Structure formats: structure tokens, C-alpha cells
Amino acid sequence: MRPAARVTGLPPYLFAELDRLREEARARGVDVIDLGTGDPDLPTPVPVIERLCLEARDPANHRYPAYRGSGRFREAVAAYYRRRFRVELDPDREVLAVIGSKEGIAHLIWALVDPGDYVLVPDPAYPVYHTQTLLAGGIPFALPLRRDHGYFPDLTAVPDAVRERAKLMFLNYPNNPTAGVATQEQLAEAVKFVRRHDILLCHDAAYVEMTYDGVVAPSVLEIPGAREVAIELYSLSKPFNMTGWRIGAAVGNASALGILGRLKGHTDSGQFTAVQHAAVEALTWKGAAAFLQEMNAIYARRRDLVVGRLASFGWDFDLPRGTFYVWARPPGGLPVGEFASRLLEDAGVLVAPGPAYGRGGEGYVRLALCVADARLTQAMDRIAAWQARGDLRF
């Protein structure tokens, strides 16, 4: 069967490719330690699981869900934004349920971008911004995230011809893959830029609750006037270890959400209502603050374990203060694709090669802190031994 032309030109999806490499290595008998995929190993909170079980037994939840999301869910999201960011949202106009932020990102692009329109995409970045722009016939324009610029794009470098044809700009902080955290001043600069050039800003805030060392990540909607030019995607995947549940919300500019909702109405039928009500439990749970604090302490401990070892054998990196990733440059000068392949084959450690996130990822790999401390220690031991001897196999 011949695929559509729009699919033929797509590269393999990074995380599907990592899954393939991991399973092929395991089939060869390799004991793989997976530091490639950002999928929390910690469990969903018990009250959320119990709420899902209760709601799943209610026949009222077995029917089609509301297209914009249940009223309870949208109100809970609005209450979260009021409590966490002091941002007031209208649950009926400024909150839209999405089936995880990945779905929201993809459908937002399809809802707004015509063939030939530019989309401003960070580089390196979560691959979906780029690939869905290509699928929609748009033109991705790379916004380099450079270390010497705090992993925030230099918006003054965007050419006039690109600005004039740009419909949409993506930002993502705390950032995947670089672990950079934007300040309110930087987000205010972005809001000013998109307002001046009539571009919608989409801020992907999937990791907004994952910060360390006293850092508190802002919402773009805290910036005065942002809701006139921006939306934000909030996901429960990372803060509540709910990646498989596929539930999140798009919030902010009512016109943009109306357009997104119109497309979604023709494309999907919403998330299972029981899952939405379980998400309400997470968003309103009195133990949430303590849970997030404990979870971030675990990731901070793992971060310190990993960066301490990487530094001892010559890797170069900035100390992450957000997400559960370490974005690092290994020594030795090998192309990082080859480095990652040999590390998996010879040492049984899977990492994500930086170029999979864009040209700006060349020279880097991303390590996810989503395995237990003992396995992280084992992974660091293997990397150290492999670097020292070069022929060690597992």
C-alpha cells in the first residue's frame, strides 16, 4: 500500500524509534536501562486511581463525553489556575479539555495553519511541533535555543519575511529537552513579540510543576494581556504521573480555543468522562502540594546522582532546574547518533540523541530520570566503564 505523500516525508517518530531500539536490544538478551523516554516510573496518586474506579462504574459516564470537556473538569482547571498562578479563567470560554497535550498541539496546528504559513518552532524541541506543521503544509522556522542565551530564543533574529507569514509560535518551559526554565521577563518578551506581529503564542507547560532549587515556573497567562494573544497547554501527565491517562487542558485566548474546539468536534469525541473526573480529583486533592514536593525531591535526588557522576567522567552540561531531564554533551567527539547506538549495544544504556529534537541538538544527548536510583547508579557505572574501556558488553 502506498502512503500519502504527507506521511512519506516524515522521519520516524523519536519515541516510537526508542521503543523499537529498546525492544530489539532486549530480544538480543541485553539488560537495557532506559534513560531515553520521559515516562514517569512513579505511580499515579492513590486517590486519583480510586476516583477513576468509582467514576468508571457510573453508567452516566459510559456515554459520549461533552466535546469541550465536562463542566467539573473545566471548573477544576480554572480553580487550579486561580490558586497556582492567580489567573482568572472563564471555564466556559477559556478552558478546553484535550486528550493529552500532544493531541492539543497537533490539532491546534491543523486548526490555524494553512499551506505556506510559517510556524515558529524552538530548536531543539519536542518533535511534534515540527512534524505536525509539516503534515498541515506549514513551514517550520527554527528558533535556536542556545546555551549562551539561557535556552530562550532570540526573537529579534526572526526575519521580517517570516514574521509577516507566521501564524503560530511555540514555546515550552520548563523545556524539553534542554531543561531550561523561562522567567516572567522572557515570557513577557514573547508576548510583546507575538502581539506586535499578530501571531498566536502557544506555551506548552507540561512540566510547569517540575522545578528544583527554589525555582517556581510561571504560566504565560500571568503576563498582562497574554490571554489576548496566547494559549497554554497544561497536562496532568507529568505532575501526577498520568502519562497513560491522556488528559490535559488548553487555556487562554477564547477565540483560539473556539477554533481548536471546532476542529476537535469533527475529529475526536473527547476523553472518557471518568478520566476527566479522576483528573478533577488530582486538581482538587488536598494532598497535591505535598505529593508534588515529595516527587520533585525524588527527581532532584536522581538529578544530583546523575550529574555528579557525569561530571566525574567528563560530560558537559548545565545543572537542570526543571523537568526530569539532563541535557548533556558527552566527551569524545563521536556523532551523538553513533554514540547513542554504541552505548546501547555495548553498555545496555538507552539515551535519546539530541538531533532527534532538531539541528540544535547536535552534540547532545538527553537522559531521562525515570528509573529507580539503583538502576541510575548502575547506568552511570556502565557508562563510566564503557568510556574507560570501550569494549565492555552487557
pLDDT (tens digit per residue) in 190-235: 999 999 999 999 999 999 999 999 999 999 999 999 999 999 999 9
Q: What is the mean pLDDT of residues 272-283?
A: 98
One-letter identity of residue 20: R
More confident residue, 2 or 164: 164
Kindly list the distances between the CA atom of residue 183 and the CA atoms of 108, 151, 175, 188, in Å, as whole numbers in the listed order. 25, 11, 12, 9
Question: Nearest CA to 383 among 338, 318, 330?
Answer: 330
Q: What is the DSSP letter of 114?
A: P
- State the Cα–Cα distance between residues 11 and 107, nearest whole angstrom: 19
Contacts of 5 (CB under 8 A, 6+ apart): none
Q: What is the mean pLDDT of residues 274-283?
A: 98
Asked if the peptide bond before residue 144 counts as cis, ω within 30 degrees of 0, the response is no
Mean pLDDT in the chain? 95
Categorize the per-residue pLDDT at 392 as very low, low, confident or very high, splitting at 50, 70 and 90. Answer: very low
pLDDT beyond 80 at 391: no
Strand spans (E) along the chain: 33-34, 95-98, 118-123, 139-144, 166-172, 200-204, 230-235, 248-252, 316-317, 325-329, 349-350, 352-353, 365-368
Q: Which residues in 45-69 are b (16+ Cβ under 10 Å) and which e?
A: bebbeebbeebeeeeebeeebeebb
* Phi/psi at 384 (5° precision): -60, -45
What is the number of other CB atoms lying within 10 angstroms of the CB of residue 154? 11
User: Do 200 and 168 meet the contact criterion of CB atoms below 8 Å apart?
Assistant: yes
**pLDDT score, position 390:** 65
One-letter identity of residue 361: G
- State the Cα–Cα distance between residues 222 and 227, nearest whole angstrom: 9
Q: Which domains does the chain have, with CATH numbers?
A: 5-43+289-389 (3.90.1150.10), 46-286 (3.40.640.10)
User: Do 124 and 178 meet the contact criterion of CB atoms below 8 Å apart?
Assistant: yes
More confident residue, 253 or 15: 253
User: Do 119 and 139 meet the contact criterion of CB atoms below 8 Å apart?
Assistant: yes
328 in helix, strand or coil? strand
Give DSSP secondary structure letters for 364-378: -EEEE--S-HHHHHH
Strand-pairing partners, residue 248, are: 98, 235
- State the Cα–Cα distance between residues 98 and 245, nearest whole angstrom: 11
**pLDDT score, position 389:** 82
Q: What is the mean pLDDT of residues 123-146?
A: 97
Q: What is the dihedral of CA 201, 234, 212, 380, to 10 degrees?
A: -100
Q: What is the mean pLDDT of residues 34-51?
A: 97
pLDDT beyond 60 at 106: yes
Q: What is the mean pLDDT of residues 156-180?
A: 98
Q: What is the mean pLDDT of residues 76-100?
A: 98
Q: Do strands 166-172 and 118-123 pair parallel, antiparallel, or not at all (unpaired)?
A: parallel
